[in-house]
Structure 1
Amino acid sequence: MKFSKGSKLTAALAGLALMTGLAMAQQPAFFRIGTGGTAGTYYPVGGLIANAISANGDKGVPGLVATAVASNGSVANVNAIQSGSLESGFSQSDVAYWAYTGTGLYEGKPKVEDLRIIATLYPETIHLVAAKSANIKSVKDLKGKRVALDEPGSGTLVDARIVLAAYGLTEKDITPEYLKPGPAGDRLRDGALDAFFFVGGYPTGAISELASSSGIELVPITGPEVDQLLAKYQFFAKDKVPADTYKGVGATETISVNAQWLTSTKQPDQLVYDIVKVLWNDASRASLDAGHAKGKLITLPNATKGLGIPLHPGAERFYKEAGVLK
């Protein structure tokens, strides 16, 4: 059978289109995860997750190349997701809530209404650290005391104000100082401060050193005031610092915000579904358990706790199928 020049050209173009389509289908999908500083917890955990979900033989999401990107943390990651310069990122759940609702740190700024959650990862505990000599047994006992609330612009400062308000206190009822936990710990050791707030995973080095050198009290954040606070602010959750996490300190009831993995409604539902499905498989579980101390706390039952803002539809679909979400 003979073919005309036109037929040959048509066949060649069809073949070229097919090859181009196959090449495009085989192009990898890139999915960046904004984390934090390289010396913190977000960065190594982000690396573990990126490795787990990236395509690797028969493991991971087919065609996906995920990378952990160092950043300035929660606010920077939310802003990068909003601008499209990152596909996803880690954030404290309170920062995510403020961004979504235009409150707290985002007061007066446009709401980031397309922000969505892939998973809650692990708790970041609210520590209320007090000097042993200060006789502070409850949040109410802070009245009249010298208390560091962290620097303006920090998430800790906003959280500290919420906790104080739950117990009927404001900054007018204390002598407030606006110091980071390091300098606050030095002042507490020197007797120039009675207590300070810190939000972060336990144990944290600065508090461990303070407990060993000077002795501290961890003040419980509990009671009916907390029940009302949790009902009002869904990004908080109950938490407990186990006994002897810090030298000489017994088990202490408190609350926490969560480290969360966020994305945007711009990300395809099927892609996020596939990512979440791989995140919670046995291979990823083994990697998280072995890779970092916080990895053991990243569990499927905790993935939908303390959300504060909506789940991404792809993630929500998986959690419903897995039975952890109604």
Structure 2
Amino acid sequence: MKTGTLIKILVLLLFLIIGCIKVKQELFPTMVQTVPPPSEELTGRQTPLVIATGDMSGVYFPMGEAMADLFRKYNGRASGTQVTHASIQNTKLVSQKQAELGFSTVDVLALPETKKREILALTGLYSNFIHIVTTDRDIHTLEDLRGKRVSIGTVESGTKLMSERILKAANLASNEMDVSTLSFTQSADALRNGTIDVAFFSSGLPNPVISELASEMKISLVPIPKQIAKSLHEEYEFYTPDEISGQTYHGIESTPTLAVKNVLFTYPDLPKQEAYQIVKTLYEHLPESQNDRPEAREINLSEATAGIPIDFHPGAKQFFKEIIH
């Protein structure tokens, strides 16, 4: 082949290659674009603020979402929530620094196995109320739970801890019932389907899944007798006799029960200024949370540090000292 002909062929091939590249860029632009740089939110020196909450159908989760919104809006902090089995699991996640913040009931914080040196309180919150929900018209008292199918809450939840203590105080052994450990969502579905007769919920008021259930079908709440409530308060001072108002759920009258305080906590290594700012933001913008979340209306600054069995974070101490003075 002549040299001139070879050069012409090479030039033609070169033009064909360039043309193919141009067509590829026009038809498949994402294949040749460079990856955009990470957002400033992800590349900042601060790690995202993760809040360990609970079941999505409980109150911890939406309350955590509301707090995360506040921290993003007013602190410029990347924040999010993590669905968990609630209190007991939350203490483990925070103590292991797998979450920065967590919710827990006071009774779980007081357990001997809770690693109190690895978690510190930020503030007390609203109270959880025990709901003993049934669709069985023959169940009116705790005694009626014998022989019934009962969900006592998930493993590693404050619901299960409190349920077991109530049943023990009522002299009800687990082998006298068909016991299951379902989440709030699973319990509600099982009540709808008739696969369980009773479910325990430890929750702020109102609990979304119970509200939904009450709007769909006839349900009732089993009362906790005053004597049992009194004996549990004497044994565990953080359990308080209370009642679920008849205005809380459709078709349900006021029901005597037990309440227990909730706490927002963190780990000791969270910088003092960050802890201070978290608590300050929560209280400065509390009305905003109260508009969005009914249970937030129970949060009371004057009772924020009362009855909590773990130490407070230095940042939280600074905030409350400033407020008091």
Q: TM-score, normalised by structure 1?
A: 0.69
Unaligned 5+ residue runs, structure 1?
Answer: 1-26, 55-64, 104-110
Q: Helix, strand or coil for the counterpart of 1:113?
A: helix
Q: CA deviation at 1:140?
A: 3.7
1:165 maps to what in 2?
168
Q: Helix, strand or coil for the counterpart of 2:71?
A: helix
Q: Helix, strand or coil for the counterpart of 1:164?
A: helix
CA deviation string 1:99-139 (max 9, x = no partner): xx316xxxxxxx342311111222232210123512323x3
Could you tell me how far apart the structure 2 residues matched to 1:226 and 1:43 are? 29
Could you tell me how far apart the structure 2 residues matched to 1:95 and 1:67 are? 28
2:203 maps to what in 1?
200
2:83 maps to what in 1?
72
Could you tell me how far apart the structure 2 residues matched to 1:308 and 1:38 are? 24
Q: Is the contact between residue 124 and residue 199 of structure 1 (CA under 8 Å) also seen in structure 2? A: yes
Could you tell me how far apart the structure 2 residues matched to 1:66 and 1:152 are? 32
Could you tell me how far apart the structure 2 residues matched to 1:151 and 1:315 are? 31
CA deviation string 1:205-235 (max 9, x = no partner): 4323432333111112241322332343355
Q: Is the contact between residue 52 and residue 99 of structure 2 (CA under 8 Å) also seen in structure 1? A: no
Cα gap change, 1:214 to 1:170, in 2 (>3 Å): same
Could you tell me how far apart the structure 1 residues matched to 2:174 and 2:54 are? 31
Q: Helix, strand or coil for the counterpart of 2:161?
A: helix
How many pairs does the alignment contain? 276
Could you tell me how far apart the structure 2 residues matched to 1:285 and 1:156 are? 26
Q: 2:51 aligns with which of 28, 31, 34?
A: 34
Q: Helix, strand or coil for the counterpart of 2:249?
A: coil
1:121 maps to what in 2?
125
CA deviation string 1:30-51 (max 9, x = no partner): 6824244795314322224414
Could you tell me how far apart the structure 2 residues matched to 1:186 and 1:277 are? 39
Unaligned 5+ residue runs, structure 2?
Answer: 1-43
Q: Helix, strand or coil for the counterpart of 1:119?
A: strand
Cα gap change, 1:235 to 1:308, in 2 (>3 Å): farther
1:102 aligns with 2:106: no
2:150 maps to what in 1?
147
Amino acid at match of 2:103: F
Q: 1:44 aligns with which of 55, 58, 65?
A: 65
Could you tell me how far apart the structure 1 residues matched to 2:145 and 2:202 are? 18
Could you tell me how far apart the structure 2 residues matched to 1:153 and 1:206 are? 20
Q: CA deviation at 1:197?
A: 0.8
2:15 maps to what in 1?
none
Could you tell me how far apart the structure 1 residues matched to 2:165 and 2:323 are? 34
Q: TM-score, normalised by structure 2?
A: 0.69
Q: CA deviation at 1:285?
A: 2.9
Rg larger in structure: 2
Amino acid at match of 1:136: H
Could you tell me how far apart the structure 1 residues matched to 2:226 and 2:55 are? 37
Of stretches 306-315 and 123-132 in structure 1, the one that deviates more from structure 2 is 306-315
Q: CA RMSD in A?
A: 3.5
